[in-house]
Structure 1
Amino acid sequence: MPILPREQPEPAPAKPHEARRIAESFGVDAPRYDQARPGYPAALVTRIVEGSPGPAVLDIGCGTGIAARQFQAADCSVLGLEPDPRMAGFAQSRGLNTEVATFEAWQPAGRTFDAVIAAQSWHWVDPSTGATKAAQVLRPGGRLAIFGHAYEPPAEVAEPFAAAYRRAAPDSPFAGGPARRPLAVYRAAYAKIADTIRETGQFDEPEQWQFDWEQTYTRDQWLDLLPTTGGLTGLRPEQLTAILDAVKDAIDSLGGRFTMHYTTLATTAVHTGTG
């Protein structure tokens, strides 16, 4: 889908980590974000937890705590970092220990962790410093795990959405994107993440993981999720309404629901303890 930058390591701006207005726009409706956004495959969480030397987890760009709560349920102690105080406040209200900061500016004050995770948020971190700082706060043998969803609605939904977006917001940097992206685009982005990890010289060879799953959305469920995405959070109400109306009609033509085929991708590596 062309305008879901919190899911994609390569959103429309050339340097995503500099697009702070978009990065910090998701808190406009934090409760809706938390309710509508999908969680992560249990197998992914289990694999990270079992492949880490202990239970202490740092969640970079934790948002409302969707991923963090899954790690808490797996008996991990999680600290969330979130630059948007609205999102951080919601996460705190749900029981997550949260600090308001970007990863780059955050001061660990000597704290170290068994795992550093970034769930659909690593593209907001400066790639020139992200992996190096992760190594600094990981214990020897600790795991860095960067993951997110690649999901493209069926063409019958994606194409009307893209057309409506171009009409309603022609000046948006997201308006020129394709209606759907092939999985290879997402895989290439995670391969680039692996390159930045290798360049630090402080991790074992990165691994690429993939988890495939499905989720059925009713019309109302999908219309609830769409306004939480980065390409829509900053639109004017009349622009948003025009886009959602087009998507509503498209889903109604499919019988009021559709099945999303998700692929959750992860780039992960173990800190060697050097550097």
Structure 2
Amino acid sequence: MPTLSPKQPDPARPHQARQTAESFGADARRYDQARPGYPDDLVARVVAGSPGPVVLDVGCGTGIAARQFQAAGCAVLGIEPDPRMADLARSRGLRVEVATFEAWEPAGRVFDAVVAAQSWHWVDPAVGAVKAAEVLRPNGRLAIFGHVFEPPAEVAEPFAAAYRRVAPDSPFARQPARRPLETYQAGYARVADALRETERFDEPEQWRFDWERSYTRDQWLDLLPTTGGLTRLRPDQLAGILDAVGHAIDALGGRFTMRYTTLATTAVRVGASGSAAA
């Protein structure tokens, strides 16, 4: 049940599912409050491995990752296609320009790092890696990362059964209750292949960070509606799923521990780049 799961007709082209890609802003405040941040070690490693502190955050959402990079001393510019998400990010002190990455105009600006937290699957793969290379300084770092989480079977299976019942025609209804980590690692390996194909990056690296978080029933039910499979359901459908998951967590004593894995594909830009500061 990864937070990056898109709901779309063709799983190979999630960037084409714009209605889902831009549905998370329906409750931007809940998204900002319920979604987890990213490992401090990941942020520190990106910062240490970049030639300077100027960061472009692609698909910044409400600024969850961007604020972590700000706290680490970076000057961050966010790009976000949903004005509702962008407005909340701005209210938290971030600079944000509203656009898809593909349509965004850098106007000669270049960056020490380009990051994409839980968002790269919404970027056209034929455009994203090349454009990232174009806006990075020489030796600038591209870091694409996101969480993988599969709740315990006692929570995941009631969720999947409820989803099949209330939304049988959704692509999510055909997915297994839990998927192996290797499924997501393969996706990040494909990102690395796309970077290699540009011939503008050093050999990509794969990073992995394992961590845990405990959730109460209410905390988990607050997070679930912010995930891609649920953002476009009718209120009655959503209520049916949350009721089933709530009963499952109650049976566990009202809380459970989520084991997260945060995966990253990262690579350093080589060759010439622009010269204007962001």
Give the TM-score band, short-chain normalised.
over 0.9
Residues of 2 paired with 1:39 and 1:273: CA distance? 33
Letter in 1 for 2:77: L
Contact 2:5 2:229 in 1 (8 A): no
- Look up the match of 1:187: 185
The 5-angstrom pairing of residues 47-62 of structure 1 reads: 47-62=45-60
Contact 1:8 1:186 in 2 (8 A): no
1:12–1:264 CA distance, 2 compared to 1 (3 A): farther
- Look up the match of 1:23: 21
For the residue of structure 2 that corresponds to 1:174, the secondary structure is helix
Residues of 1 paired with 2:190 and 2:145: CA distance? 13
- Look up the match of 1:76: 74
Residues of 2 paired with 1:272 and 1:199: CA distance? 13
Residues of 1 paired with 2:260 and 2:5: CA distance? 13
Residues of 1 paired with 2:206 and 2:9: CA distance? 24
Residues of 1 paired with 2:134 and 2:193: CA distance? 18
For the residue of structure 1 that corresponds to 2:248, the secondary structure is helix
The 5-angstrom pairing of residues 1-275 of structure 1 reads: 1=1, 4=2, 6-8=3-5, 13-14=10-11, 15-274=13-272
Alpha-carbon shift at residue 31 of structure 1 (Å) = 0.4
- Look up the match of 2:276: none
Alpha-carbon shift at residue 8 of structure 1 (Å) = 4.5
Residues of 1 paired with 2:10 and 2:157: CA distance? 22
For the residue of structure 2 that corresponds to 1:171, the secondary structure is coil
TM-score, normalisation: structure 1: 0.97
For the residue of structure 1 that corresponds to 2:171, the secondary structure is coil
Letter in 2 for 1:77: A
Residues of 2 paired with 1:12 and 1:220: CA distance? 31
For the residue of structure 1 that corresponds to 2:131, the secondary structure is helix
Identity across the alignment (%): 75
Q: Deviations over 1:154-176 (max 9, x none)?
A: 00000000000000011112111
Residues of 2 paired with 1:39 and 1:84: CA distance? 20
Residues of 2 paired with 1:93 and 1:181: CA distance? 37
Residues of 2 paired with 1:203 and 1:9: CA distance? 27
1:11–1:203 CA distance, 2 compared to 1 (3 A): farther
Contact 1:198 1:206 in 2 (8 A): yes
Residues of 1 paired with 2:236 and 2:56: CA distance? 39
Letter in 2 for 1:51: G
Residues of 2 paired with 1:188 and 1:274: CA distance? 31
For the residue of structure 2 that corresponds to 1:129, the secondary structure is helix
Letter in 1 for 2:211: W
Gaps of 5+ in 2: 274-278
1:73–1:270 CA distance, 2 compared to 1 (3 A): same
Alpha-carbon shift at residue 130 of structure 1 (Å) = 0.5
TM-score, normalisation: structure 2: 0.96
Gaps of 5+ in 1: none
Residues of 2 paired with 1:9 and 1:191: CA distance? 18
Alpha-carbon shift at residue 129 of structure 1 (Å) = 1.0
Q: Deviations over 1:229-266 (max 9, x none)?
A: 11111111110000000000000000000000000000
For the residue of structure 1 that corresponds to 2:125, the secondary structure is coil
Contact 2:46 2:141 in 1 (8 A): yes
Alpha-carbon shift at residue 273 of structure 1 (Å) = 2.1
1:175–1:238 CA distance, 2 compared to 1 (3 A): same
Residues of 1 paired with 2:98 and 2:129: CA distance? 20
1:215–1:12 CA distance, 2 compared to 1 (3 A): farther
Residues of 2 paired with 1:12 and 1:152: CA distance? 22
Letter in 2 for 1:7: L
Task: Supply the RMSD in Å over aligned alpha carbons.
Answer: 1.3
